Each structure stands twice: as structure tokens, then as C-alpha cells.
Chains A and B, each alone.
Chain A
Amino acid sequence: MRNNAKILIVDDEPNILMSLEFLMKKEGYKVFIARDGEEALEIIKEHTPDLILLDIMMPKVDGYQVCSYVKLQSEYEHTKVVFMSAKSKEADLQKGYDLGADLYISKPFSTRDLMGKINALVAEEA
């Protein structure tokens, strides 16, 4: 199950997208990528990912909207949402968790730390 987990990475910053894709693939996950919220919603509807790595500030549809779309529907009850954002104030974190996020990671972050937490969340699901 662990290696079959579907992970969606959403960020409008191509370099971050590229780095995360490299890391997730190396870990053996099935990786989907989206450059904005709109793309993300399409992929979510089609593939129902197990975990979403979600940036907040994006053009068109932002991360909050994507998160609430997932968290309000029972068919996505097994989908974990991890926010990663440059917004790192206490209030920003609170808002993320209030929306039902499973994890909130402030940018910049350590990849080793991130991978540890992602793997733990995916394992929890299993």
C-alpha cells in the first residue's frame, strides 16, 4: 500500500514542484502535479489522491479552497492534506488546521523532516 499511495503536489513555483516531485518519486509514491488550484481539483476528482501537498497562495483557486473542497466530502475522507506555505504566522497555521488540514509546514523547510512526516501520514492511512 505504501508504495502505491497517490500523492498530489500543488504549487505555482516550478522549482519547488520539481524538487518535491523528485523526492516523492524517489520514495516510490505515485505522483501527480498541479500548477494551480484549478488543475488540482481536476486531478482530485479523477484520481482521489491519498495525500495532497498544498501551497496556499496560488492564482485562480487558492489552497484554502482546494482543502475545503476535499475536507467537506465523505468520498475524500481518507485523503490527507498537508499545507506548505510561506505564511508562517500563528493565525495562518490556525486557519489551516481549522479548515481540516492534517499538517501545516512553513516554507522553507527541511526535506528530511518533510519526508519523515509525509511517510508517517501515509503509513497512518495504511
Chain B
Amino acid sequence: MNSVVIVAISIAYLLLLFLIASWAEKRTTIKRSLVANPYVYALSLAIFCTAWTFYGSVGRTITNGIEFLTVYIGPTMLMPLWWVVFRKLIRISKVQRITNLADFVSARYGRSRALGVLVTLLCVVGLVPYISIQIKAIGSSIDILTAQEVAQTSAFWQDNVLYLVVFLGVFTMLFGTRRLEAHERHEGLVAAIAFESLFKLVAFLAVGLFVTFGVFDGFDDIAQRAAQHPPLQSLFVMDTNETSSWFWHCLVSGLAIMFLPRQFQVAIVENTRENHLRKAIWLFPLYLLAINLFVIPIAFGGYLTFGDSVKADHYVLALPIYFKQEGLALLTYLGGFSAATSMIIVECTALTIMVSNNLVLPLLVGSPKWLNKFGGDMGQWIINMRRVSVALLLLLAYFYYKFVSDRYSLVSVGMVSFAAVAQLAPAVFGGLFWKQGAAKGTFWGLIAGWAVWFYTLIVPSMANAGFLPVQWLESGPWGIAWLHPEHLFGLTYLDNVSHGIFWSLLVNIGCYVGGSLLANRSAQEQNQATLFVDVFAYSEVYESSVVWKGKALVTDLQSLLGNFLGTTRAERLLNLYAKRNNINLKNRYADPRIVNYAEKILSGAIGTASARLVVASVAKEEKITVEEVIDILKTSRELQLFNEELRKKSEALEKLTDQLQTANEQLQRMDQQKDDFLSTVTHEIRTPLTSIRMLSEIVQDNPDLEEEQRDHFLGTIIKESDRLMRLVNEVLDLERFDSGRIAFHEDVFEITEAISSALDSVLHLAKEKNVQIQNHFEGDLTPIKADRDRLVQVYINLVSNAIKYCYPDMGVIKIKTTQDSEFLTTTVTDNGAGIEAEFLPLIFDKFYQAKKRSSQKPTGSGLGLAITKKIIELYEGEISAQSSPNLYTTFTFKIPMKSLSTAAQIDQQI
């Protein structure tokens, strides 16, 4: 077949991919996405199956037996982990706008620039050979089709492969670096990839069916014939040593499918819904099973057909050609081509994003010169830079294929690449599930892991290829046996790949764990660790709970976003976010949430570390230390306390209002009492006045009155006049007590004499009601010095008060007085109506009368007890009352003797 025709067909196939990709992108813009379903998602994951699968599986079957299956068994066995690991990775990447593995590691470990650079470099180094074997597969398949000897010695401009690679580069540039997106999702690319996955499966199944049922007579036929060939037979007997290498190969394949950049791209970044994982978890292993179904029949068929005359790697394509099936051969070629191109396109896209966001931009955005030069339109600049990096990566892979790959064995290039990316496992798993995991540990783990990887897996190839002395592989470097790159520390029973994986992962994990445990982590690192490990707890509130301190102008942020994403898009994004979160963009300084949001948008476009740098360049931010985070928490606590204080104060105010109200009520009550007092006094004055007037008129109008009756009437007039006079005196007394102008007259007398005098005055009252009075005295009868009339008044008031409340004919009043060197004490107890407890504290108030019904006649002026209290207090004594309704009522007063012997203080009063 003419090579020009083949190249033309290849290019036609690529044009078909263009159409599919463009169609998918158009569908995306009209919101009817082709790729947002689990089937396309599962198919895109099948990018795992490269030309290495398409051609290499058959080849490896001939050399290593069914060991090739480890590459598919490993991922299948680790598939249940996906639900835990991938779901978390997807969530974190969405929340944190992470677009590649280097960014993930960098962001997780405190937005470390160094880690981003390290992971990027090592991925590039680990994967360029892998890309190159894809190119090589394309090259050899064209050679087989054109029946040429595999000739890589021709000048590269004569090489058809170069033109195909250029075409691939253009495709990648168009669909992988189309725009500067905040999420780096490429639906056109995914649609093309899914199509390719389907295409390569169909092609491989077609060859398998042809060989199994066209050339041979089904599986049984092939198996029976193969059984007659001892070399084939021996391939299916497993060596005991092989079991451990199976383990390591399965493990590294299972890890690689999680950490290959292209897998991260399709599984994490391009994921549209977390739930798609559910279907993919069983659809993808099914795909792996289908594509491996005919590997052994083709391998046997090829061996039975060609023996050793054709390379086993070429059986898949050589068989249709040998049996003159041109159409099938072309389909097979395109199948292999699709397997290779899909890998190249996506791997280049993923690596380019890594290189741009984690290698180039972090170095450039830190330089003010660069910012000044390209500050206006960084977005376009970045896209161009990415296109250049795609070209450079492809060229690197091409030249590796052209000038390096042929110099030493490529059998295990795939596995060696897998081992390289598997070094990311400790950092990623730790980052997802272990908060203690630290940047320092990650850094040293990766460095050490990759050093061992290089020494155990690359150095032997280099020695074989003649770059290093071959003796190294015989007796170890400089004759040191335990440094032998394939048998470190005398570990001999593992094959070289297992050996390399074992040592590199062991050292890696050791350094990662050890370094993490010893590291002092910054607050930034601890914050990120928490946000990553607890993503399912924080993802809901992450946008609203921002711990960021500083000032940034809204306009600065707008122009910054505009520089990278274009002014209109930047404006639209910011307005949308502000609207959703009720933030006013008109303010001069940006809300911390806006700053945070801008940084995240930029993270998606230019990587976490770079975004951190550019945002820091426009924001005057202050570093947040662990102490400050605690401070922020404390501040909110203080705010809480402040609120508490406010609440207390308002409570106090309420109390004060209550007190004011009480005082007001008291004033009103006092006012009322005054009114009551006045009407009481009026009543008390009018009653005797009425009697006096009536009796005077009677005496005047009735000159013929009997003498006895006239005397009685006149005597009553006199008594009523006395009553009037007493009342007037009481009112005046009280007024004097209130104003402090009361006159005391010093007398020396015995208290019993004063009591007797008082009882004489109230005797008529007692007799009227037939109340019994008992009088007792105890103690020494030393004469006292006091105003006698006042003390008599005290006794009169207390006893007459008791009489007032006694029931007629059954009242008893008991007066008990004791006098010793310290106190004069008197109790007056009666068995009258008693006083309600609630009124007890009020009875000594002036104007107070124990009456509830205003219309009932008050018994007295209501001044007696008030005056009594004032007198006792002037002698520094105390008076109190105990009572309850229908029980005894007792008034007790106590006057210190010193007040009654020297009256100095009373003199002052006068």
C-alpha cells in the first residue's frame, strides 16, 4: 500500500475527529451536551488503552505469557476505590478549581510552587517516553502496511510520521488549548476521545473475530493447535517468582490509572457529574475485558502463522495483511492509530496545562517585568505559550522516538512510566485522607521515590544502551554488589520492574510519612489540609466562609480577571457571583469573598500557585497565621460576648424602667394617700363639729330641757371639742416631725408611771368596747430621762390602736414592759382582727389605714402609728409589728437605755 495513501487516510481520520469535536463543542454552546452522560464518560476513561494495549498486549503475551493482564486486572481490582478516591478528587477539584495533578499536589500542600514544579517536571520526564512509543507504534504500523523495513535511519523530513505528529499537534492545540477556561473542560476533545475508544475496540474485535473464526476454527481450534507448541505451552505455567511480580504489576497499574495525567484529565477534570462514576465503575472494566478478549487468540494465531519471522508486536496488523484482507488491515491500522492519537492528544493537553500552570506561570507571574510587558492581555499570551508547549512536548517525544527509543529495549516503557506516576500515590492518597501530610514530606518523598525509580528502572536501560558501563549490571557500580540497580540490597527474586516499584514506593512512603510527621506546617498548609480532607463537610460553605485578611480594590480585581479571561467574561463572572451572594461591587474595597472567588477563577485558568501570586500582587494582604485564625474565631466570640453585654444592659434598662414605673406608682399612691388623708382629716373634723353644732342648737332651742340632760349635752360638746383639738394637734405634730422641728421637754420619771397615765387616758375607750387590759412590768425601775408626754403618747397610740381593732366584749390587750441596763422594751399584744401580711410593712406609713373599702369609716386619723414610729426613732429605738388575720397582733418597740439617760442628741434636735 502506498504510504501517501495511508497518510491521506490517517489525515482523513483526523479530520473526522475534528468534525466530531467541533460538533460536540457546538452542542455544548447550545447547552445540549453530547458528553454529559456516563457512557461517554466511561468510554473516555478507555483512553487508558493505548497503542501499547492495541499492539503490545499481543507482543507481551508471546514474551511473558498472560502477565500482560496485570495492566487491566490491577485497575479492575482497585476500581471500588474509585468511588472513594475519585469522588473526593472530583469534589475537591471542582471546589478548588484544580485542573491537574501538579496543581492538586501544590494546592493541597499549602499552594507550594516548588511541589508544582517538581510534579510537572517528573511527569514530563516520566511520560515523554510513553508518548514516544505511541509515535513509534504509528510509525511501525505504517511501515508494516507499506511493507517497508522498519527504517528509522532516514532523515526526519522524509518521515511520514513527522507530518502525522504535526497534524496531531494542530489538533491538540485547537481542542486542548482553545480558550483559557476557568475549569479546563474540553467537551470537543472528550467527544473525540470517546469516539476513538469505540473505534479502537471495534477494530480490535474485528481482527480478533477474523483470526479466531476466519483464519482458524474458533477458540478450541486455536487452543488445541497452540498446545502442540511447547514454547507457547510454557508461557502459561506460572513461575513461583511470578506471583509477587504479578502483585507489583497489578498494584502499579491500578495506581497509574489514577495518577496518569491523561486519566486525571478525563476522569476528574472532564467529569460533569459525580454520579457518572457509578456507571463507569462497571462499564470501564467491561471495556477492558472486551478489548482483551482476543489478545490470546491473536497471539497464538500470529505465532502459529508466522513463528518467529514477524515481531509479536506486529501480529495484529500483520495477520490481516498476510491473509490479504486490505480493508480489515486498514481498519486495524486506524484502530491502532486511534489508540495512539487519543493518548497523545490528551496526554499532551494534560501535560501542557501542567507545564503552563505549574511550571511557567508561577515563575513568570512573580516577575513584575513580565507583568508589565504582557499585563494587558495575558490570556492570549498564555494560550500561545501553551501551544508552544504542546509543540515542544510533541517534538521532544518525536526526537526521543527518533533518536533514543531504538537504542534500548522498549518492552517495559509503559510499565516504567506507570511506576513514575505511581510515585504520586502517597502524596495524593495522603493529601486526600491524612491531614498531617505535609509539603516537606511530600517533597522529599517524591524526590526520593523518583531518584530510586530512576536508579532502578532507567539506569539499567542506559547501561544496556551503552550510556553507562555495562559492568554496572553485572557486578554493581564500582563493583559494589548491594548497589546493583536491579538487585538493591541483594533483593534478587523480583523482576526488575517489580524491584524498582517496591524500592521506590517504599522509600517514597517512608520519606513522605517521616517528613510529614517531623514538619512544622504553616497555617496556610493546615487550612488547605482541612479543606481537602474534609471537603464533603466544607464544600457547601466554602465559598461563604473565607478566612482572608487584607484590602483589594474591586477595580484591580476586575482588571486582573479581565487580563486573563477577557473584560466581558470577567465582568459577567464577577457580577453573577456578587448577585448570588448579595455583595455590592460598587464598594471601593472588595469583599473578601470576591477576592477569594477571583483567586479561584484564576486558579482554574493559571494554576493555584500562580493565582495566589497575582492576587497577592493587587491585594494588600496580611499574612494569616494560626494565631490569627484563632483570633478571628476569638473575635466572633468577642462579638458574641458583646451581644451578651448588650442584652444584659437592655435588661438593666428594662429593670430601671420598671423601677421608675414603681417609683411613679408610689408617687401616685402617695398622692392618693394624701387625698385620703385630707378626706380622713376632713371627716374627722366634721364628725365632732356636727355633734357640737347639733347639741348647741338643741340646748339653745330648748330652754325647757331637764338639767341633767342639758349637762349631758354640754359635757358632750366639751368632749367633742377635745377630740377636735387632739386631731389638730396630731396633724401639727406630724408636720413638725416631717420638717424636723419638734420640741422635746426633758423630764425624769419612772416608765411605769408613764404607762399608767397612758392607760388612764384610754380607759374610757376600753370600757366602751369592754376590752380587758393586762399590764406587766419586769426589771429594774431606774428613772429615765426623756420627754414624758411623748412616751405617754407612744403608749396611748399603741393601746388605743389595739382597742380599735379588738372585737367588742371579748377583746384582750396585754402590755409587757422590761427595762434593763441596755434596753427599754415593750410589747403590746391584742386578740383583734389582725393585719394582712401584705399590709404589715405599710402600717407605719403616715396616712395609712388598714382599710380596704373607702366607704367604711376609718378608725382614727391614721396618724397614730406614724407619729409613734417617729418618736421611737428619735430615741434611736426600733418598732415592729407581727400579725396575721384572726391571730394575735403584737407591736414591739425597743429603745436603748443610753438614749433615755443622756438626751444630748435630742437637745440637738431642739
A residues with a Cβ closer than 8 A to B are 12-13, 15-16, 18-20, 22-23, 26, 56-59, 62-64, 86-88, 107-112
Contact = CB atoms under 8 A, between A and B. Distances in A.
Contact of A13 (B679, B687, B713, B858): B687
Contact of A111 (B689, B698, B720): B698
A57 B856 contact: yes
Nearest to A106: B686
Given A16-B694, A19-B694, A87-B679, A108 B857 contact: no
Contacts of B702: 26
B272 interface: no
Most chain B beta-carbon contacts within 10 A, residue among A13, A15, A23: A15
A87 B683 contact: yes
Most chain A beta-carbon contacts within 10 A, residue among B694, B698, B853: B694
B694 A57 contact: no
B857 A15 contact: no
Given A19-B695, A56-B855, A86 B701 contact: no
Contacts of B692: 108
B690 A62 contact: no
B697 interface: yes
Contact of A86 (B687, B694, B695, B713): B687
27 contacts: A13-B687, A15-B691, A15-B716, A16-B691, A18-B716, A19-B691, A19-B695, A19-B698, A19-B713, A20-B694, A23-B694, A23-B698, A57-B856, A58-B856, A62-B853, A86-B682, A86-B683, A108-B686, A108-B689, A109-B690, A109-B694, A110-B693, A110-B697, A111-B694, A111-B697, A111-B701, A112-B701
Interface in B688-710: 688-695, 697-698, 701-702
Interface in B720-778: 720
Given A13-B687, A110-B693, A59 B856 contact: yes
A28 to B, nearest CB: 15
A16 B691 CA distance: 5
Contacts of B679: 87
A15 B720 contact: yes
A112 B694 contact: no
A107 B679 CA distance: 13
B686 A62 contact: no
Given A16-B690, A57-B683, A110-B697, 10 more contacts: A12-B857, A13-B691, A15-B688, A15-B720, A23-B698, A26-B702, A59-B857, A64-B855, A107-B690, A111-B698
Most chain A beta-carbon contacts within 10 A, residue among B679, B689, B695, B697: B697
A112 B688 CA distance: 18
Nearest to B689: A108
Nearest to B688: A15
B697 A112 contact: yes
Contacts of B857: 12, 57-59
A12 B855 CA distance: 13
A88 B891 CA distance: 36
Contacts of A57: 683, 855-858
A15 B855 contact: no
B274 to A, nearest CB: 86
Interface string B663-690: 0000000000000000100110011111
Contacts of B855: 56-57, 62-64
A69 to B, nearest CB: 15
10 A-B pairs with least C-beta separation: A86-B686, A15-B691, A57-B857, A108-B690, A19-B694, A107-B690, A86-B683, A111-B697, A108-B689, A62-B855
Contacts of A16: 687, 690-691, 694
A15 B702 CA distance: 17
B698 A107 contact: no
Nearest to A63: B855
A20 B683 CA distance: 19
B205 to A, nearest CB: 115
A76 to B, nearest CB: 21
A109 B693 CA distance: 8
A95 B695 CA distance: 29
A86 B690 CA distance: 9
Nearest to B853: A62
A19 B702 CA distance: 12
B860 to A, nearest CB: 13
B285 to A, nearest CB: 104
A66 B692 CA distance: 27
Nearest to A112: B697
Contacts of A19: 691, 694-695, 698, 713
Contacts of A62: 853, 855-856
Contacts of A87: 679, 683
A18 B715 CA distance: 13
A11 to B, nearest CB: 9
A111 B690 CA distance: 10
A39 B742 CA distance: 45
Nearest to A95: B855
B889 to A, nearest CB: 18
A109 B720 CA distance: 16
Contacts of A15: 688, 691, 695, 716, 720
Nearest to A13: B687
Nearest to A12: B857
Contacts of B853: 62
A110 B690 CA distance: 9
A92 to B, nearest CB: 10
A64 B856 CA distance: 10
A16 B690 CA distance: 7
Contacts of A23: 694, 698
Nearest to A107: B690
A111 B855 CA distance: 25
A11 B71 CA distance: 123
A64 B687 CA distance: 18
Contacts of A26: 702
A22 B698 contact: yes
Nearest to B712: A18
Nearest to A26: B702
B770 to A, nearest CB: 15
Contacts of A63: 855
B554 to A, nearest CB: 75
A86 B683 CA distance: 5
Interface string B837-874: 00000000000000001011110000000000000000
Contacts of B686: 86, 88, 107-108
B693 A108 contact: yes
Nearest to A19: B694
Most chain B beta-carbon contacts within 10 A, residue among A12, A20, A22, A58: A22
Interface in B330-384: none
